[in-house]
Structure 1
Amino acid sequence: MAHSLRQRFKDYRLERRIRKNRLVTKDGRCNIELGNVMRKNGFTYVLDFWTTLVETRWRFIILYFVASYTLSWFIFGLLWYWLAKSNGDLLWQNPSEDHTPCVHNVNGMTYAYLYSLETQTTIGCGNIYITDQCPAGVALIIIQVVIGVLIGIFWCGIVMTKLTLPKKRAKTITFSKSAVICPKKGTLCLQIRVANLRKTLMIGSQIYGKLLRTTVTEGETVILDQVNIDFMVDAGKDNLFFVSPLTLCHIIDKSSPFFDMAVDTLHQQDFELVVFLDGMAESTSSSCQVRTSYIPQEIMWGYDFLPIISRSKEGRYRVEFSNFAKVVPVPTAHCSHCYHNEPGNHLHLKGTDNKGFEMFDMESSNSTKT
C-alpha cells in the first residue's frame, strides 16, 4: 500500500509539473504571466473599464454591484442631509412651528440615507417626502433618479455581456484528450478528434495548429518558437460542416516537424501542440475560439480512434460519445522514414553480414505429447 501511495504522489507531482509547464491548458486557458504591467500601464485598464469589468470574475462583479448602489445612496444621503441642514430642518436646529421644511421628517443622517435609498429605488414609503417649496430639493431628486437609472443600465449591460460571452459557447466544443499517429488513406497522419456537443452549428469553422518549442539557432535561444501545423478533414480545412464529431488529420510528410520523430523518441521531445478552432455560433452570431494543447506524453503512436457514428434502424444518425476518446492499436511503422521507405533513421543503419550464420529447420518432437 505504501508503494501505491508513493506512486500516486509521484504521478500527482508529474501531472502538476506538466500542467505548470503548459502554455495552453487542456481547457484553453493561457498559462502566461505579465510582469510589471500594472506599474507602467495600469492606467490603461482604467481607461478601458468596460472590458476590465467584463473580464472580471463574478464574485467581484457582485461586490462592485452592491458597492456602487450603496455608495451612491450614501453620497446622495449626505447631500440630502446638507440640504436639510442648510434649510434648518434638523431637530437639533429647533425649527419654528411655521417653518416649511425642504424634506419632511429628515431629522438626521439616518433619515437622510433612508430617503436617498427610497428616492433612487422609487420605493417611496410615504413618511419622508419632498415639498414644493424647495427648488434645490427638486433639482437634487431629478439628478439622483437619472443617475440611479444610469447605474442600473450599466450593470444590466455588464451582466448580459458576461452571460453571452463566446467562451461559454466554447465550453460545448470538446477535443479528445489524446492525439494518435497511424496510417490513414496511404499516408502517416497525426489525428485529433473534436466534437460539437450542441445541435446548433458552428458557422465558418476553421481549424489550425501551432507547434511551440524552444530552438537554438546560431547560439540564440528562441523560446516558444512557433511552427504552423495544418489540419484537414475529408472535406478540406475551411468552412467545415461541423454537425458531427470530426477527426482532424495532419499529414506527416517531409515538411512536417513530426517527420524526424519516431515511436521511441517521441516522448523524449520537448514541444507543445496547440490546436485552435475558430467559428461563429449559429444562434448568437458571435465569433469564438476554442483551444487545447497536446504534449508528447499525450500523443499515442500506433493507435487509431474507434468509430463513433452509426445509423439506427429508424434511419437516424447516432453519435456514440462513449467511444469519443477510445483508441485501438493498429499496425504502424516505427517512424516516418520507415513508412516512406527513406534512409536517415535509426532503423536504416547499415549492418554487417555474419558469414557464419546458418539457418536450419527445427522439427517438433512427438515424444513430448501428454
Structure 2
Amino acid sequence: GRCNVQHGNLGGETSRYLSDLFTTLVDLKWRFSLLVFILAYAVTWLFFGLIWWFIAYCRGDLDHLEDHAWTPCVNNLNGFAILGSMVNAFMVGCMFVKISQPNKRAETLVFSSHAVVSLRDDRLCLMFRVGDLRDSHIVEASIRAKLIKSKQTQEGEFIPLDQTDLSVGFETGDDRLFLVSPLIISHEIDERSPFWDVSRHQLEKDDFEIVVILEGMVEATG
C-alpha cells in the first residue's frame, strides 16, 4: 500500500531527490524511467556527435570525404568510451533493480475486509485475517500494527498523526508468521492497549486508522 500523505513546506525538495539520483530513478514510474533511459543515450550520442562534427568541420574533414589520402581526426575517443561505459552501467543497474522489485507481490497478500472485536480465550481481542495466495511463501514474515489518530497533550499541543504501537504478539513471537494458510492476527485489549478505556459507542464514532505492516522476503527473488 501507499500512505496518502503529501509533504509540503520543504525547502530544496528537488535538490534532495537529485542528490540520491539512483533511488529517484528506481522509484519513477515505468513510462518516466523508459523516457530517462532513452534520453540518457540520445543526449550523450548527440553531444559527442556534435563535438565530432564541429572538430571535423573546423579541420576541414568534411571537404575531403572522398579523398582517401586525407587523414581525418579520429583521435580522442577515450572520453566518449568512458562516459558511455558509465551510462551503460548506471542505466542497466537502474533497469535491473526496477525489474527485480516485487511491487505486485502484495496483490496476492489478502487481508480481511473487516476487523472484529471479540472474546478469545476469555480475553477481549481485536482480530483480522491475512493470507497468501501464492505457492511461493514469504520468508521471515513478520507483522506490526500501528494506531494513528489525533492527540492533544496535557500541555495543549495538538498532534494530528500520533502513532501508537498495537501489540500483535511481539513478546510471545506470534508476530512471526508462517503464511502457509490464512492466519488470524490478534491484538489483546488489556491495560496496555490504547483501546482499554474506549467504549463500544466511542469506538464507532472515533476517528482513527490502524495501519498493518507485513514485512518479509520473497522466496523466489529474495
Whether these two folds match at TM > 0.5 is: yes
Match of 1:74 among 46, 59, 65: 46
- Quote how far apart the aligned CAs of 1:255 are: 2.6
User: Does residue 1:30 correspond to 2:9, yes or no?
Assistant: no
Aligned residues: 220
- Quote how far apart the aligned CAs of 1:251 are: 1.3
Aligned residue type for 1:278: E
Per-residue CA distance 1:93-132 (angstroms, 9 max, x = gap)? x889675051xxxxxxxxxxxxxxxxxxxxxxxxxxxxxx
The aligned runs of 1:40-59 (5 Å cut-off) are 40-59=12-31
Given that 1:84 and 1:101 are in contact with CA atoms closer than 8 Å, whether structure 2 keeps it comes out as no
Q: Using a 3 Å threshold, how does the CA distance of structure 1 residues 101 and 84 change in structure 2: closer, same or farther?
A: farther
Q: Which runs of 5+ in 2 are unaligned?
A: none
The aligned runs of 1:18-167 (5 Å cut-off) are 28-37=1-10, 39-91=11-63, 100-102=70-72, 134=73, 137-140=74-77, 142-167=78-103
* Alignment partners' CA distance in 1, 2:111 and 2:31: 29
Residue of structure 2 in register with 1:188 after alignment: 124
CA RMSD of aligned residues (A): 2.5
Aligned residue type for 1:187: R
TM-score normalised per structure 2: 0.86
**Secondary structure at 1:138 match in 2:** coil
Q: Using a 3 Å threshold, how does the CA distance of structure 1 residues 242 and 99 change in structure 2: closer, same or farther?
A: same
The aligned runs of 1:259-298 (5 Å cut-off) are 259-285=196-222
Spell out structure 1 runs of 4+ moving beyond 6 A: none
Aligned residue type for 2:84: G
The aligned runs of 1:314-333 (5 Å cut-off) are none
Residue of structure 2 in register with 1:19 after alignment: none
Residue of structure 2 in register with 1:237 after alignment: 174
* Alignment partners' CA distance in 1, 2:31 and 2:184: 39
Aligned residue type for 2:4: N
**Secondary structure at 2:7 match in 1:** coil
Aligned residue type for 1:265: Q
Structure number with higher relative contact order (C-alpha < 8 Å, ≥ 6 residues apart): 2
TM-score normalised per structure 1: 0.54
* Alignment partners' CA distance in 1, 2:131 and 2:67: 79
Q: Which runs of 5+ in 1 are unaligned?
A: 1-27, 103-133, 286-370
